[in-house]
């Protein structure tokens, strides 16, 4: 067949319950939306001053991973056949490439959100770890063809409850150094993301868990969730951060790439301290002092502090 979507002809399905042509068309549409979002966020980042790009760069990673994932799934690649627990007369495509995407994107989405709070690094690290546990439990459970898959589903649910606890309880009660407007934006974003995280295990249970809905329906459901949790969430959160002084987050590294931001804050220190390094005893430039114009350079002894 000439023209059109030939992904399923080039890469034939490897399981009885597989992706349909309509499902592949939908995945190509999601890929296109991720690609357009990536171009938009790259342009936004380019016009953002250096030293204020951390949240934008996290978004770039998340959306880039989504692009690769949906390109693979639209091409009918990145899946493996697994015997279904119910309707045992066949196998179902399990999309491991989707779990690779979530393994990278879920922790980064949480990092994007939690960096705006006053949570300690240990709390943030544990929350990111729990998101990884949730994804891995989903993958292992999907690959298990027996009832024991629901044990892994339970482990993932426990990890999800911990994430909810941090997002909805611990996070809002911390000090938001960037101001009350960020607190309001965080509360909306945390509730929004928490609801979406609830939808993922529900879809898993109906698709890869119990084989109730088709692979195409699964891709439509997960595709909507990934768009809402990826580009839509990220653009909303970055919009809420516009105009915020990043110095309030304490995220400046002091590296050369942050000079535009660092210089704006260090200028006040220079005006207060002068151009020379002033010590407590009033002596300055303890070392070689350049000679007058045309004269030799004379080394100066280092002054010794007066004994107290």
User: pLDDT tens-digit profile of 247-293?
Assistant: 667 666 555 555 544 445 444 444 444 444 444 444 444 444 444 44
Instruction: Please report whether residue 305 resides in a domain.
Output: no
pLDDT above 90 coverage of the chain, percent: 64
pLDDT at 27 over 50: yes
pLDDT at 300 over 90: no
| Backbone torsions φ then ψ of 306, nearest 5 degrees | -65, 135
What is the number of domains present in the chain? 1
Per the prediction, the chain carries an average pLDDT of: 84
**The Cα angle at residue 58 between residues 53 and 59, in degrees rounded to 5:** 95
Which pLDDT belongs to residue 26?
98
Is position 149 within any domain?
Answer: yes
- State residue 176's pLDDT score: 77
pLDDT of 48-57, one tens digit each? 888 788 899 9
More confident residue, 300 or 230: 230
Q: Does 104 reside within a domain?
A: yes
Q: Is residue 287 part of a domain?
A: no
For 156-205, write each residue's pLDDT tens digit.
999 999 999 999 999 888 887 766 678 888 999 999 999 999 999 999 99
Whether the predicted pLDDT of 136 surpasses 70:
yes
pLDDT tens digits, 66-75: 999 999 999 9
The CATH number of the domain where 141 resides is what? 1.20.1070.10
For residue 128, name the pLDDT band (cuts at 50, 70, 90): very high
pLDDT score of 244: 75
**Where residue 303 falls among pLDDT bands split at 50, 70, 90?**
low
Q: What percentage of the chain carries pLDDT values higher than 70?
A: 77
Which residues form the domain of 66?
Answer: 8-246
CB atoms near residue 291 (< 10 Å): 10
Is residue 282 assigned to a domain?
Answer: no
Is position 114 within any domain?
yes
Which of left, alpha, beta for 294 (phi over 0: left; psi -120 to 50: alpha)?
left
User: What confidence score (pLDDT) does residue 11 get?
Assistant: 96
DSSP states of 251-290: ----SGGGHHHHHHHHHHHHHHH-SS-B-TTS-B--S-BP
For the segment 295-307, the average pLDDT, to the nearest whole number, is: 51
- Does 251 map to a domain? no
Q: What is the pLDDT of residue 280?
A: 43
> What pLDDT, on a 0 to 100 scale, did the predictor assign at position 96?
98
The Cα-based distances of 29 to 17, 36, 90, 105, 200 in angstroms read 22, 11, 29, 20, 20
Residue 289 domain flag:
no
The model's pLDDT over 96-126, given as tens digits with 9 standing for 90+, comes to: 999 999 999 999 999 999 998 889 999 999 9
């Amino acid at each position: 067949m000439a023209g059109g979507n030939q992904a399923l002809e080039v890469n034939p399905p490897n399981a009885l319950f597989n992706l349909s042509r309509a499902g592949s068309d939908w995945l190509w549409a999601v890929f296109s939306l991720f690609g357009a979002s990536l171009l938009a966020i790259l342009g936004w980042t380019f016009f953002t001053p250096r030293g204020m790009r951390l949240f934008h760069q996290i978004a770039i990673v998340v959306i880039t991973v989504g692009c690769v994932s949906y390109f693979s799934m639209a091409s009918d690649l990145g899946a493996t056949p697994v015997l279904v627990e119910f309707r045992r007369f066949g196998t179902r495509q399990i999309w491991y490439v989707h779990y690779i995407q979530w393994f990278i994107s879920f922790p980064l989405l949480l990092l994007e959100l939690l960096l705006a709070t006053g949570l300690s690094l240990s709390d943030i690290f544990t929350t990111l770890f729990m998101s990884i546990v949730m994804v891995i439990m989903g993958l292992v459970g999907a690959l298990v063809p027996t009832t024991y898959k629901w044990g892994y589903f339970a482990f993932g649910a426990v990890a999800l409850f911990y994430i909810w606890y941090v997002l909805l309880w611990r996070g809002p009660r911390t000090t938001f150094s960037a101001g009350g407007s960020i607190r309001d934006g965080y509360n909306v974003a945390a509730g929004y993301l928490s609801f979406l995280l609830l939808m993922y295990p529900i879809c898993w249970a109906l698709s890869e868990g119990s084989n109730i809905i088709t692979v195409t329906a699964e891709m439509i459901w997960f595709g909507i969730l990934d768009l809402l949790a990826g580009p839509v969430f990220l653009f909303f959160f970055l919009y809420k951060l516009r105009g915020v002084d990043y110095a309030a987050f304490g995220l400046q590294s002091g590296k050369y790439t942050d000079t535009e931001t660092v210089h704006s804050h260090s200028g006040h220190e220079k005006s207060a301290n002068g151009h020379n390094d002033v010590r407590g005893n009033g002596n300055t430039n303890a070392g070689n002092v350049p000679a007058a114009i045309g004269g030799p350079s004379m080394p100066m002894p280092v002054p010794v502090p007066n004994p107290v």
